Amino acid sequence: MKLSFRTPVLATATLAGLLVLTACGKKEEQTNAPAAASTAAAPAAAPAAASTAPAAAPAAASTAAAAAPVAAPAAPAAAPAVAESLTVGSVTLGSAVGADKKVAKAKTAFAPNEKTIYASVATEGTSAGATLNAKWTFQDGDTVTTVSDLSQSISTDGPAVTTFKIQNPNEWPEGKYKVAISLNGKPAGDTSFDVKKK
């Protein structure tokens, strides 16, 4: 009877030991399994990081491509060519002008007591904003004196006349004079005249 009681106790103890050992073995497998999964996840994460880097490069390329069209509007620099189509046709001197800004009677000799001398500058062509300048000088021997230096801005889409004038409340000194016309800073013509008693 004692022998048969020990057998079930031994069998129960052995079974319990096997269950504990089996349970320990399963824990090790479960502990190792996530480690293997995390190791496998690491290579998967690396390509994700690698795919991010190439995505940044196209973004930079698209930024560069977007910047390229900004430089394209430099072509309208040809606009000043419109001002270059304007030319000075003639310079006419006189002592009176009409409503059309043209000299009423052209002449190249003036009396010392003529208070105002006009220069009508005829231009041809178009301009959105050109500058005409009239420099009046008096030559006394070898000495050249500037009497007046005036500029006017003009805008025109066809033939036009611009008037310049010099005035002297006293009598003009007798001698040789000249009016030099420039367009946008470039010489465009000049006309000489005399002041002398008749």
Over residues 157-188, the pLDDT tens digits come to 889 999 999 999 999 999 999 999 999 999 99
Domain contains 56? yes
- Strands (E) in the chain, as ranges, are 87-94, 109-110, 116-124, 127-140, 143-156, 160-167, 175-183, 186-195
The verdict on 36 and 94 lying in the same domain is no
Domain contains 188? yes
Give the Cβ contact number of residue 173 at 10 Å: 13
pLDDT 10s digits, 69-114: 555 555 545 444 443 588 999 999 999 999 888 998 999 999 999 9
Task: Determine if the pTM surpasses 0.75.
Answer: no
| Domain range enclosing 177 | 88-195
The verdict on 94 and 62 lying in the same domain is no
The number of CA neighbours under 13 Å toward the Cβ of 136 is 19
Pick from 73, 96, 125: which residue ends a domain? 73
**Segment 1-5 long-range contacts (CB within 8 Å, at least 24 positions apart):** none
Domain contains 79? no
Domain contains 80? no
The verdict on 187 and 92 lying in the same domain is yes
The verdict on 112 and 34 lying in the same domain is no
Q: How long, in residues, is the chain?
A: 198
Please determine, for residue 20, whether its predicted confidence score (pLDDT) is greater than 50: no
Whole-angstrom distance, CA of residue 194 vs CA of residue 112: 10
The verdict on 106 and 52 lying in the same domain is no
- Tokens representing 109 are 């000799």
Domain contains 82? no
Tally of structural domains, the chain: 2
